[in-house]
Structure 1
Amino acid sequence: MSLSNLHLSTTNLRRVLALDAISGAGAAVLHLAFAGSLATWFGLSEGLITAAGWALLAYVALSTILARQVMPARGPLMVLIIGNVIWGIGCLAIAWGGDSGVTALGQAYLTVLAVAVLALADLEFLGWRAPAARLAV
């Protein structure tokens, strides 16, 4: 099998989108409910953590809508993929971008978060690459 032919079935794509929505909801609740504690532990501002929590809720809404569609729409799916890539790169930039005051625990959290988000983006991209007949346009 060639890598250029690698893609996910619609069913598996919907499962990945559901996992993305569930994990995003968990992260949103964590960020919103414990922003003060996380800020101290991670060396990040409470405002950044709270803003991330609210952004995650919007993201979860889109993931949920796509996961519930029989054939996820390609345009919104690409928006989700690009959002995941930007989120992952942003996490890495904050974690390893220099003298930002991020603690070792914060670097670990952001790195694990980035790896997970980028893995989801990759899986979603494999679903997006599926033959157009299987995904809504």
Structure 2
Amino acid sequence: MTDTTTTIRRILGLDALTCLLAGAVMSLGASLLAGPTGLHPTLLLVAGCSLFPVAALFAWMAKTSLLNAPLVLLAVVGNIAWVAASIAVVVLTEPTAFGTAFVLAQALVVAVLAWLEFKVGPGNRAIAAA
């Protein structure tokens, strides 16, 4: 395994972990977070639950011998979609200042992960050959 392949696998593993943790916080704490964030508990629950299959996919990608550029690009596009949806939540709902910070902070983390995955992944021949 090349250094680049190891790096993208580590980034995907980190992405899986952040999805799992954010999913647990939002889904299990939906009713507790609703007040301080100003976000509807159902939105928090659904958003949190949607992260569990993504975490599983990213964890699988971090370990599979089938890792290739299109799979990494799928992760990048999915992360960009999450960032766009997060911005839409802030614009279309009425979160508190804490809620805005909560949503935008996690969107920033996801954006950084997407950038890292893109930088290391799809354009790299080592990933395509992995």
Residue of structure 2 aligned with 1:79, choices 71, 74, 78: 74
1:130 corresponds to 2:109: no
Scaled by the length of structure 2, what TM-score is found?
0.89
CA deviation string 1:51-110 (max 9, x = no partner): 111110011011001001246232222222111001011112222x15x22100000011
Aligned to 2:39, the other structure's residue is in SS state: coil
1:68 corresponds to 2:45: no
- Superposition RMSD in Å: 1.8
Give, as a single letter, the amino acid of the residue that structure 1 aligns with 2:52. Answer: L
Q: 1:74 to 1:101 in 2, by over 3 A?
A: same
Q: Where does structure 2 lack aligned partners over 5 or more consecutive residues?
A: none
Q: How does 1:8-47 map to 2 (within 5 A)?
A: 9-47=4-42
Scaled by the length of structure 1, what TM-score is found?
0.85
Give, as a single letter, the amino acid of the residue that structure 2 aligns with 1:78. Answer: L
CA deviation string 1:22-61 (max 9, x = no partner): 1110011111111001111111111111111111001101
CA contact (8 A) 2:70 2:122 kept: no
Q: How many residues align?
A: 127
1:104 corresponds to 2:71: no
Moved runs in structure 1, 4+ residues, more than 3 A?
A: none
Residue of structure 1 aligned with 2:48, choices 45, 53, 62: 53
Supply the distance in 1 between the matched residues of 2:68 and 2:23 (Cα, whole angstroms).
24
Q: 1:71 to 1:13 in 2, by over 3 A?
A: farther
Structure having the higher helix fraction is: 2
Supply the distance in 1 between the matched residues of 2:103 and 2:129 (Cα, whole angstroms).
34
Q: Where does structure 1 lack aligned partners over 5 or more consecutive residues?
A: 1-7
